Amino acid sequence: MQQTRTLTTQVRGHIGERIRIQGWLQSWRQLGGIHFLVIRDGWGQIQAVAESEEEIAPLINVEASVESLVAIEGQVESVAQAPGGVELHNLTIEVIAPIREVPPVALNKRKINAQISTLLDHAVVANRHPSRRAIFRLASAMMQAFRSTLTDRGFTEIQTPKLVASATESGANVFKVEYFGRTAYLAQSPQFYKQNMVGVFERVFEVGPVFRAEEHDTTRHLNEYVSLDAEFGFIENHFTVMALLRDILASILGAFQEQCASELDLLKASLPEVPEEIPYIHFQDAQELILKLHKVDVRGEPDLSPQDERWLGEWAQKEYGSAFLFVTGYPMKKRPFYTHPDPERPEFSNSFDLLFRGTELVTGGQRLHRYEDYIAALEQAQMSPEPFEHYLEAFRYGMPPHGGFAIGSERLLMQLLGAPNVRLTTTFPRDIHRLVP
Amino acid sequence: MQQTRTLTTQVRGHIGERIRIQGWLQSWRQLGGIHFLVIRDGWGQIQAVAESEEEIAPLINVEASVESLVAIEGQVESVAQAPGGVELHNLTIEVIAPIREVPPVALNKRKINAQISTLLDHAVVANRHPSRRAIFRLASAMMQAFRSTLTDRGFTEIQTPKLVASATESGANVFKVEYFGRTAYLAQSPQFYKQNMVGVFERVFEVGPVFRAEEHDTTRHLNEYVSLDAEFGFIENHFTVMALLRDILASILGAFQEQCASELDLLKASLPEVPEEIPYIHFQDAQELILKLHKVDVRGEPDLSPQDERWLGEWAQKEYGSAFLFVTGYPMKKRPFYTHPDPERPEFSNSFDLLFRGTELVTGGQRLHRYEDYIAALEQAQMSPEPFEHYLEAFRYGMPPHGGFAIGSERLLMQLLGAPNVRLTTTFPRDIHRLVP
């Protein structure tokens, strides 16, 4: 067999021809002397039908079972009842590598039938299941859409260090690393570096790991995750940032529809619409609204509770038909020191949270850009400027008004797909208990 | 001033019009009452000429100096002797944020004039210099070309964990992390995960940080760098991998030429040609060649010395007119345990190094794909299979013949540009002495 390989997704274009496929023996059923084989390759699967003992002999001779690697030559026939409408006949089977043990997670069932802990313990194999793979294909499409939208708008991709000399925003929740006799830390975010790089390229983005030593053990927390970060200069205020974020979400969801139709179908995912303009409400107005609608007085609280967020989500759905809602102007005291205040009401900030179906999805806003403002903000927060010496140098020598946001990619995917646990949208998750596989 | 902003790189298209630009005051020279301002934005720079005291007053009134943020409205005029052939006249200047201190590295000179340590200590500001920025723009173009070439060929992008339970290849040179009362390690490479993900997607790639706790203090070593990794299944042998690598290098260099002409010009970089087929020589033949050409007998040595590599580089240039040379078939004993042997001569491997101008640029090869071969290889290397339990699960349940390579992105850029130090092709390098900025 020297013929060129055809991918399973290309078979439909070869009806009547003899082709060669390669892949994993995903399933093998026998019905009255006929063997139905399903071969999975990196993109899809195809049925191959052996009607004689001679055809199937190469598999039987080596006692090959599912997940064996095979190459199969066969005639492509259009068969209405075959999955995908085509199947292979008159097979010549070659076993590339036989497998004789049963995988720890059954990959040949339509639905994956295992506890989440089993899925994660055996992720190396379980990730092959079409329903698991579909999620990771969406994750890849998400990153690609994020990058291409930003590249098209003049953003430059950067890669910033993950080993840092001091914690990004506070000393808590940071992993310590032994660094040649000193202590280094794992970056909790690329915040400082992406801001500094606005001084170089004006518009920058990064896709990379961030590390949070949080002791949370919930369905929403990972201790290492992939952050999609953007930051850009010469903005008007946080509304410029919100407009960009809206367009990025629209392009991610558009990419899912265009490039991942079969994955969405498999996952039975129904994706939200991103409105032309996502509605927004100021933090203070949100609290007034909650009092009016639910008779609960949260005015004066420095933050929104999960219940508050759910109520606001319901309201946005009812009032605007939107699954998305921006809450703007969070109180300064609950935001990090680099947050830009609202010039009109300095106790509130030029920042936002994006809620999706009543849960926080993305945080962002405008940052301070004047050196003197940083010094004053650090003093106010009773923080020493010394660990921030290098970061602050950018502002000392000229920075434009700027802002940005950070998206936790696994969590975004979890929420868009309605997955019950963020670990299910991560190939190899890291949590307080899990460092393997 | 409410007019829309024009980027400096778009000014040439607006001759005769009045436009508004924004950016940093890169330089400010005065000649006989005329003020020549150069404004830098995220993409380029443009000259603006103030011929009256009234025009320049907004800068003088606030004592603004270079690196101040400004918005300038002016008439675009075609002027042969102006840099880029156009400049702005009849200015209305607005100071967005005045700067009054002199930057620690002069950004307004054509050549950057500072010690490397000064450049790195003040990278936050020094990276703004057009010659520094050009390098980082090339780095971004490199990543983009790497991704798009692979995506076009059916590869899926993955993101694998950087916090791992055991060292990737050996216990040496690995950073330790305090992980909730246990010790975790920083991944030295995505090797195991990318191989495992070949079981899911067949063809995968990753762009991400890797961490090496090497105590080297040379011009070629970083302790954290960005690795461009690819791995794919159903290969014939290492030559399939070499063919892909050749195409990726060609597309990176093509992207430089097409997208970064002004950056290459600024850096006075002359890029190599990638031949249609990069010449290759077997390790054993290379040692015979060295004996023949240089009368030095290195036969039986398990590896090539830097001198050997230089000789081979010279030979490839002379014999094939190629700056690139593959050396194939390195002895198994110098390669990691997962390396696939040459079936004909099992003491040699199906692996390669790519030399560029006589220096190693990329390492790659075919990996083992049968579970029993891994068990035998670990036994041979006197390593316990236990820490590799999860990695090995992929092979236990079916993996195709596969291989791949890893490119150190900063080092590749250093070598292509002929930069004297890898730190100069890194925005914020990490070495044995440096954790800031």
Domains annotated on chain A, with CATH: 8-97 (2.40.50.140), 130-425 (3.30.930.10)
A179 touches chain B (CB under 8 A): yes
Chain A residues with CB inside 8 Å of B230's CB? none
CB–CB of B43 and A202 under 8 A? yes
Residues 6+ apart with CB under 8 A from B109: none
- Give the Cα separation of A85 and B346 in Å (integer): 46
Max Cα separation, chain A? 83
Contacts of B197 in chain A (CB under 8 A): 127, 427
Residues of B in contact with A24 (CB under 8 A): 398
Q: Looking at the complex, does the CB of residue A340 fall below 8 Å from at least one CB of chain B? A: no
- In this predicted structure, what is the pLDDT of residue B113? 87
In this predicted model, what pLDDT tens digit does every residue of B135-161 receive, in sequence order? 999 999 999 999 999 999 999 999 999
What element of type H or E holds B323? none
Q: Give the pLDDT band of residue B1 (cuts 50, 70, 90).
A: very low
Q: How many CB atoms lie within 10 A of CB A195?
A: 24
Instruction: State whether residue A386 sits within 8 Å of chain B by CB.
Output: no
H/E stretch holding B264 reads helix B261-267
| Each residue's pLDDT tens digit, B183-195 | 999 999 999 999 9
**Which two structure tokens, joined as six digits, stand for B325?**
């040379």
Cβ atoms within 10 Å, residue B72 = 24
Give A169's pLDDT tier (boundaries 50, 70, 90): low
CA distance B130 to chain A (A): 9
Residue B2 scores a pLDDT above 60:
no
pLDDT reported for residue B167: 73
What is the pLDDT at residue B166? 85
What is the token pair recorded at A230?
């953007």
Residues of A in contact with B162 (CB under 8 A): 162, 209, 211, 224
Is residue A218's pLDDT more than 50? yes
Q: Residue positions of B in the annotated binding site for L-aspartate?
A: 169, 212, 363, 367
Counting every residue written for chain B, the total comes to 437
Query: In angstroms, what CA-CA distances link A174 with A188, A213, A284, A434, B421?
Result: 7, 5, 32, 17, 31
What residue type is A105 in one-letter code? V
* Predicted pLDDT at A408: 96
Amino acid (one-letter) located at A91? L
Contact B209 A99 (CB under 8 A): no
Q: Do B369 and A97 touch (CB under 8 A)?
A: yes
Cα dihedral across residues A78, A138, A205, B184: positive or negative = negative
In what helix (H) or strand (E) does residue A256 lie, and over which residues does it extend?
Answer: helix A238-259
Minimal CA separation from A104 to chain B, in Å: 9
A292-330 pLDDT, tens digit each: 999 999 999 999 999 999 999 999 999 999 999 999 999
Lowest-confidence region among A167-176, B41-50, B398-407: A167-176
Place of tokens 């002199």: B102
Query: CB distance B435–A179 less than 8 Å?
Result: yes
Alpha-carbon distance A56 to A89, whole Å? 12
Residue A406 has pLDDT above 70, yes or no: yes
**Both tokens assigned to A59:** 């598999």
Q: Give how far B179 is from chain A: nearest CA, Å.
A: 7
Contact A177 B176 (CB under 8 A): yes
- In tens, the pLDDT along A179-199 reads 999 999 999 999 999 999 999
**Residues comprising chain A, all counted:** 437
pLDDT in tens, A1-49: 457 999 999 999 999 999 999 999 999 999 999 999 999 999 999 999 9
Q: Is A320 on the interface with B (CB under 8 A)?
A: no
At B17, is the pLDDT very low, low, confident or very high (cuts 50, 70, 90)?
very high
Closest CA relative to residue A243, chosen from A303, A319, A328? A328
Q: Which of A101, A200, A209 sits opposite B127 (nearest CB)?
A: A200
CA A381 vs CA A169, A193, A300, A388: distances in Å: 12, 21, 20, 13
Cβ of residue B428 closer than 8 Å to a chain A Cβ: yes
B29-43: average pLDDT = 96
Query: How many whole angstroms separate alpha carbon A271 and alpha carbon A266?
Result: 13
Whether the CB-CB separation of B26 and B38 falls below 8 Å is answered with yes
Q: What are phi and psi of A226, to 5 degrees?
A: -100, 120
pLDDT for res A171? 65
Sign of CA dihedral A338, A344, A348, A351: negative
Q: For A84-121, b where at least 16 C-beta lie within 10 A, e where not — what string?
A: eebbbbebebebbbbbeeebbbebbeeeeebeeeebbb
Phi, psi angles (nearest 5°) of residue A47: -90, 140
Q: Average pLDDT, whole number, for chain A?
A: 96
Q: Which of A410, A322, A328 is CA-nearest to residue A358?
A: A322
The distance of A125 to chain B (nearest Cα, Å) reads 6
- Residue B120, burial from CB neighbour count under 10 angstroms (0-12, 13-18, 19+): buried
Cite the beta strand spans of B168-249 per DSSP E: 176-179, 182-186, 203-211, 224-233
| pLDDT level of residue B304 (50, 70, 90 thresholds) | very high
- Residues from chain B that touch A28, judged by Cβ atoms under 8 A, are none
State the Cα–Cα distance between residues A137 and A43, nearest whole angstrom: 10
Q: Does A5 touch chain B (CB under 8 A)?
A: yes
Residues A367-393, mean pLDDT to the nearest whole number: 95
- The verdict on A214 touching B (C-beta cutoff 8 Å) is no
* Over residues A347-374, mean pLDDT: 97
Mean pLDDT of all residues in A105-130: 95
Measured between CA atoms, the residue of chain B closest to residue A67 is B398
Give chain B's radius of gyration (CA, Å): 26
User: Looking at residue B202, what is its pLDDT?
Assistant: 98
- On average, the pLDDT of chain B sits at 96
Render B139-191 in DSSP notation, one character per residue.
HHHHHHHHHHHHHHTT-EE----SEESS-SS-SSS--EEEETTEEEEE-S-SH
Tell me whether strands A402-408 and A224-233 are parallel, antiparallel or unpaired.
antiparallel
- CB-based contact, B369 to chain A, within 8 Å: yes
In this complex, which of B67, B96, B215 lies closest to A397 when CB atoms are compared? B67
Q: Which residues of B touch A372 (CB under 8 A)?
A: none
Q: Which two tokens stand for residue A143?
A: 């990153």
Q: Which of B125, B163, B209 lies closest to A394 in CB terms?
A: B125
Distance CA B396, CA A182 (A): 41
Is B435's CB within 8 Å of A184's CB? Answer: yes
Strands B324-328 and B351-356: antiparallel
The alpha-carbon gap from B81 to the nearest alpha carbon of chain A, in Å, equals 27
Of A89-98, A321-330, B110-119, B225-234, the one with minimum mean pLDDT is B110-119
Q: Identify the sign of the CA torsion A169, A170, A171, A175.
A: negative
Q: How far is B300 from chain A (nearest CA, A)?
A: 34
Structure confidence at residue A1 (pLDDT): 47
Return the residue matching tokens 């607005």: B94
pLDDT on residue A310: 97
- Residues 6+ away with beta carbon under 8 Å from B361: B324, B353, B354, B355, B407, B411, B412, B415
Residue A113, pLDDT above cutoff 80:
yes
d(CA A279, CA A49): 55
Q: Is B57 on the interface with A (CB under 8 A)?
A: no
For residue range A242-262, what is the model confidence (pLDDT) as tens digits?
A: 999 999 999 999 999 999 999
DSSP 3-state of B35: strand
Q: What is the three-class DSSP state of B400?
A: coil
